Amino acid sequence: MNETTRTYDVIVIGAGPVGENVAERARAAGLSTVIVERELLGGECSFWACDPSKALLRPVVARADASRVPGLDPAVAGPLDVEAVLAHRDRMSSYWKDEDQVDWLNSVSVDLIRGHGRLTGPKQVAVETPEGDSIALTARHAVAVSTGTRAALPPIPGSDTVRPWTSREATTADKVPGRLAVVGGGVVAVEMATAWQALGSQVTMLVLENGLLERMEPFAGELVADGLREAGVDIRFDTTVTSMAREEGEVRITLSDGGQLAADEILLATGRAPQTRDVGLETVGLTPGDWLTVDDTFQVTGVEGGWLYAVGDVNRRALMTHQGKYQARIAGTVIAARAKGEPVDDAPWGAHVATADHAAVPQVVFTTPEVASVGMTSREAKQSGRSIEVVDYDLARVAGAHQYGEDYRGRSRMLIDTDLNTVVGVTFAGPGVGELVHSATIAVAGEVPLDRLWHAVPAFPTLGEIWLRLLETYRG
């Protein structure tokens, strides 16, 4: 083994979108920066999550939208071209090659070391390369852990021999299973059930809870469940898998009520766990496998010296790529400010804090229908003790919905803090609502007074006219 020693201002462990953005921001501020990655640059999002999953879903959603348009509906009545959809997925995932990402990293002058990076002490990282070499890195100012998450698999007897799908297999499979069982009712579960049912699988969803998308407004999960059932998905609520086995080429599943189910594949979409089991946390007084708790500038709490940062999903603040990249932009900037001895603006909504993680996290669920939300749900608002008024409106009554397609179904909800006279949460469910979420995010993050928001005139006839209808309903 060859061992080398190198020193940088900033070391980033993990080269997904979050780590890449931390490194780019630190380097743009003039700090020498290296990023360490053991898999593909671009990480989970580019190769096993966001990009491949949305590539699978785009034809499904587009066909569903077209089927509601007079004159187009006969043209899209047939099955999807599975080979073409999977080929599109492969292209959008860059065929699981990261040369473009490497070129980008070179263009912003960030060094790359391929290998497994582990902390070995304060500001110290050891990298074991694929060739068996060891590289000892020292950071002058900061180490940022951006290793993301992995699938959290429940301890179901037999799962170790069944080889169940996780989100990785669900987004990269090269053939359509005849029967697919999906365990879970969250975002991954509903999106992958939507995609594979449309591609030809007979999907059965086994959901522990009594509804889908339980962290969102109840009507969102209800509309998504209706859409899945109409597509042919069998949804079983209040259901637990007690064991599974692969016999004669099929997965045989035993349920809590004693029932049996057979499938060709089973997807376990039951949550995420941090990728921290083998990054050397024990060498700095932390527990391997734990989420990394941070302050609003992303310094890890419980570590002396303020040199260790955790950015993205690994800190459990908001497990979405776009929110992780937001965190990364802030973390890279605050690392540079501290390195240069510059003032840190850590007031709410300041340049060096991630206030949006608490108040304005946007999300889109790419199902049929779509769900888009930002800020609080009504349940969270009630728990907060704030003075909140809930405003509902039938999205199908908006003129833009009539133009969007026949038999449009949708709902909307706006939460208003009556003391501050601002919007603190919005949820839309219906075809095409994903494109409404940024306007809602601006209203929430900008704390736009309702009196001013009244003057933001939506174009007619668009789905965006829902803003006028919600405000009219509130004003009476």
pLDDT of residue 73: 82
The segments of the chain whose pLDDT lies below 50 read: 1
CB-CB contact of 411 with 392 (8 Å)? yes
Burial readout 196-225 (b: 16 or more C-beta within 10 A, e: otherwise) = bbbbebbbbbbbbeebbbeebbebbbebbb
204 - beta bridge partners? 181, 234
Q: Which residues pair with 125 in a beta bridge?
A: 119, 137
What integer pLDDT is reported at residue 274 of this predicted model? 97
Q: What pLDDT does 2 receive?
A: 63
Amino acid letter for position 446: G
CB 181, CB 206: distance < 8 Å: yes
- The CA distance from 138 to 121, in Å, is 10
Task: Give the span between the Cα atoms of 25 and 134, in whole angstroms.
Answer: 27
What are the residues whose beta carbons fall under 8 Å from the beta carbon of 166, sequence distance 6 or more? 151, 153, 267, 268, 269
Question: Residue 395's pLDDT is what?
Answer: 98
DSSP notation for 110-159: -EEEESEEEEEETTEEEEE-TTS-EEEEEEEEEEEE---EEE-----TTH
Give the count of beta carbons closer than 10 Å to the beta carbon of residue 129: 17
Bridge partners, residue 13, by sequence: 36, 145
Spatial contact of 224 and 211, defined as CB atoms under 8 Å apart:
no
Are 148 and 45 in contact, with CB atoms under 8 Å apart? Answer: no
pTM for this entry:
0.95
CB atoms within 10 A of CB 73: 13
Identity of the residue numbered 438: H
Laid out side by side, the sheet with 388-394 consists of 363-365, 370-375, 422-430, 411-417, 388-394
| Helix, strand, coil share (%) of the chain residues, nearest 5 | 35, 25, 40
